[in-house]
Amino acid sequence: MLRYVYRLLEDPRVYEFVQMLLGGRRVFRAVRESLSVELAHIRYGNVLEVGCGTGLTKDCFSGDYTGVDINPEYIRMGSGKGGGTFLVADATSLPFETASYDLVVTVGVLHHLDEHERRKMFGEMQRVCRPGGHILIADGLVPSSRMNLLGYIMAKLDRGRYKMRIEGFQGMVREAYPGPFSVKFERYNVFPLEFVVAVVGNG
C-alpha cells in the first residue's frame, strides 16, 4: 500500500498537495518563517537549493536562485513557476564548480538518504559553498515526546526512512562539519510535527 502511495508522490501535483496537507498549512508556514529568521542574519548574492522539489520554498530566498532535484517532473513544474534556474541533478554529485555559491540550502531531504548518501551530499554542499558562505539544513525529526502518537505515525508514513531525533541530527551535522566550521541549531515544534534548522558557517 505504502509503495503505491510513494509512487503517487512522484507526480508533482500530488507532491505539492500532500506537502500542504501533512500538518496543514500551519506547519508549512512555520518552516518558511523559520527559514526567514535564519536568512535575516546571512548575506548572500546567490543560493543553491539542493533537493528543491517543485520550488515550494524558492520565494524564501533573494539573489540568484538555482534549484536542483533528481525528479525531472518536479523540475519541470518548478521551472514553470517563473524565476530562478531549475536543473535535474543528484544531490550526491552536484554539477557545479567548487566555491560557486554564497548559500547552499536543503529542506526536507536528509531523511530520504542513508548514511552513505548523506555523507556524499554534505561533502558536495561544502564543496560548492564559497569560503565565508553558509550552509543551511532543515529537516523533520522523530518527535521528542513519546506521548506524541500522531507525530510518530506521520514519521512512520513518511517516504523518508531515516528520520532521527534531535540528538542524532546534531551529531550527524557536527561530524560532517567539524571545526573550524561554526554550527547553530534551532528546533521547532509545530504539533504534531517537529523540525530543526542548522546553519553552518563555512569559515
pLDDT grade for 9, boundaries at 50, 70 and 90: very low
Q: Which CATH fold would you assign to the domain 2-201?
A: Rossmann fold (3.40.50)
Confidence of residue 1 (pLDDT cuts 50, 70, 90): very low
Return the SS3 of 60. helix
**What value does the mean pLDDT take over residues 138-148?**
80
pTM of the model: 0.85
Confidence of residue 2 (pLDDT cuts 50, 70, 90): very low
Q: What local confidence, expressed as pLDDT, does residue 193 receive?
A: 79
Domain ranges of the chain: 2-201
65, 81, 116, 203 from 109: Cα distances, Å? 18, 21, 14, 24
pLDDT tens figures, 77-110 = 999 988 899 999 999 999 999 999 999 999 999 9
Q: Quick one: cell of 53?
A: 522539489
More confident residue, 79 or 162: 79
Q: How many helices and strands in the chain, by DSSP H and E?
A: 7, 7
Residue 185 in this model has a pLDDT that exceeds 50: yes
